[in-house]
A and B are shown apart, each in its own frame.
Chain A
Amino acid sequence: MIDFEEELKKFHPSLEVDDSEKAISERDLSDMVDLIVDTAKNTPTRQ
């Protein structure tokens, strides 16, 4: 049985076009490669 209120919680407002600039600037763009790079800084290179 569908619970309307519970289902409604799954619907979130969509971003408007004017909000796109803010969305881009607040986006977290870190990835696994960044972690590797940070880790590698403390690791000596093998010659």
Chain B
Amino acid sequence: MQCYKCGVELSEKDFCTACGADVARYKQIIYTSNRLYNQGLEKAKVRDLTGAINDLRQSLKFNKLNTQARNLLGLIYYELGDVVDALTEWVISKNYQDSKNLATDYIGMMQANQASLEVINQAIVKYNQTLNYCHQDSLDMAKIQVKKVIKLNPKFYKGHLLLTLLYLHDQEYNKALKEVEICRKIDTGNLIANRYYKEISEALGLDDNKPAKKVQQTAPVDDYWLNQGPPLAALPEPGNSSILSTIVYILLGLVVGLAIGWFLLGPIRVRMNKAGVEEEMTQVRDQLSAKSAELEELTQTNDSLNAEINNLNTLVAEYEQGAGTNEAVNNLMYAAIEYSKGEARDPMVIADYIGKIDPEYVMNEASEAYVSLYNTVKGTVGNTVATNYYNTGMEAYRNADYPTAIENLNNAIFYDPSNSEALYALAVCYVENGDVVKAKECFTQVIALFPDTERASKAQNYIDSLGDI
């Protein structure tokens, strides 16, 4: 025993030799706690568990650190099926004394067997439900439930006791006796169980000296009709049948089974086949629909592609036209560039570029700015170029090189339409070259442009001489 104040081991004195604390009462308390523990232990050995519980609780009231008392109390609770109470005591015991404590082993065993713990917990839950049924006056349900409790945990003391009470209420003394004897076997000191036993004994006439006599008990409803009603007619026992009849019966059963199968399953099979065919048809229809949709899509694509081709062709045409336009613009630009050289410009170069421009374009399609520039450039170099072309053409005429003469005289007229000599010479070249139609055209132009002139008269003579060629 250690001093409660300083923890030093106490002597036989009533005071602590270390700190001087008065330990007389303290020692008495510890001794009382130990005595109560011993009493509890003795009672537990003879299965007076209720008495043991009371003593051990008292022991702990005196000294909560009495580990042995607490462990034994937990053990008794466990024996009675109150597992939670048992665990509580062991946990507290371990908390106060962590080493060399049996509670550690008890807790370990509980934790190792979780399944068993779960079953015990279910029994507790059902027991609590049973109490609820009892309070709700559903005693039949309570009886059923408490039987389940006992089945889950045969050592659940309170379950047996409650069932005893329920049987007593229904005056089922024999059953009550059975249950109360189980209770008394577990715990001999339970006053409630002993009182129930006394009640049952009186009802059943149980005496140590006298033999027990059966009580004319009022049987419950289910037992009454079994005792009072007509006996149930016994079912005829099957006679010794021969092997042949057995085989016949088996064959008959097979035939009947097949017939049932045919008539019941046959239509089902037909339906299934039909369903299979229909399913296949549905698949084919779906495929056909898909193909049709694909075809339509391709047709639309084709149409759009054709339209695109047409657009592209239009663009190409426009581009080509534009190219033609671009060429005319470029030639004019080159001519303008040459023109911009001022005194250094070469009129023939300009004339060359101007000659590449289509007059139809200038007359019909060119913009106003283009025509203006064109006329300016052409007009500036026109006289010089016209003279050059005229001289070259006449030279070629004199040399009887009519094609060259025609080309140059055409250019001369192009740049200088007022040159009657060039026009007349051109007409004569056409005659000499054998192009009478062109010759007549030119002679006609001479007459029209230069009337009442000598050349006009000569032109008229030529036209007359050529006749209707």
Contacts and interface: CB of A to CB of B under 8 A. Distances in A.
Asked if chains A and B come from one complex, the reply is yes
B21 A40 contact: yes
Contacts of B199: 1-2
B443 interface: no
B318 to A, nearest CB: 91
B88 A24 contact: yes
Q: How large is the interface on A (under 10, 10 to 19, 20 to 34, 35 or more residues)?
A: 20 to 34
A46 B121 CA distance: 54
Contact of A43 (B22, B30, B88, B169): B22
A33 B65 contact: yes
A31 to B, nearest CB: 4
B61 A31 contact: yes
A15 B348 CA distance: 126
Interface in A1-47: 1-2, 4, 7-8, 10-11, 13-20, 23-24, 27, 29-34, 36-37, 40, 43, 45-47
A24 B91 contact: yes
A29 B131 contact: no
B117 A2 contact: no
Interface stretch (B79-87, B300-308, B383-391): B79-87
Given A32-B63, A45-B19, A45-B21, A20 B84 contact: yes
Interface in B46-70: 60-65
B84 A19 contact: yes
Interface stretch (B122-130, B335-343, B393-401): B122-130
Given A46-B15, A46-B22, A47-B20, A15 B4 contact: no
B64 A31 contact: yes
B92 A36 contact: no
A30 B63 CA distance: 9
A16 B196 contact: no
B29 interface: yes
B135 interface: yes
Nearest to B84: A15
Interface in B429-449: none
Contacts of B134: 8, 11
Interface in B166-181: 168-169
A14, A18, A37, A46: residue with the most chain B Cβ atoms closer than 10 Å: A14
Interface in B243-259: none
A34 B135 CA distance: 41
B5 A40 contact: yes
B158 interface: yes
Interface residues of B, number: 45
Contact of A14 (B25, B128, B168): B128
Given A46-B15, A46-B22, A20 B88 contact: yes
A8 B120 CA distance: 22
B26 interface: yes
B22 A24 contact: no
Contact of A27 (B22, B61, B65, B92): B92
Contact of A8 (B5, B64, B125, B135): B135
B192 interface: yes
Contacts of A45: 19-22
B370 to A, nearest CB: 103
B342 to A, nearest CB: 115
Contact of A32 (B21, B29, B121, B196): B29
A14 B121 CA distance: 10
B25 A36 contact: yes
B406 interface: no
Given A15-B82, A32-B61, A33-B29, 16 more contacts: A2-B165, A7-B192, A11-B158, A13-B127, A15-B88, A17-B84, A17-B87, A17-B117, A18-B121, A20-B84, A27-B88, A27-B92, A36-B4, A43-B22, A46-B22, A47-B20
Closest 7 CB pairs of A and B: A45-B20, A15-B84, A31-B64, A17-B121, A13-B128, A32-B29, A4-B169
Interface of B: 4-5, 15, 19-22, 25-26, 29-30, 60-65, 82-85, 87-88, 91-92, 117, 120-121, 124-125, 127-128, 131, 134-135, 158, 161-162, 165, 168-169, 192, 195-196, 199
30 contacts: A2-B168, A2-B195, A4-B165, A4-B168, A7-B192, A8-B131, A11-B161, A14-B84, A14-B124, A15-B88, A16-B125, A17-B83, A17-B87, A17-B117, A17-B121, A18-B121, A29-B64, A29-B92, A30-B64, A32-B61, A33-B26, A33-B65, A34-B64, A40-B4, A40-B22, A43-B22, A45-B21, A45-B22, A46-B15, A47-B20
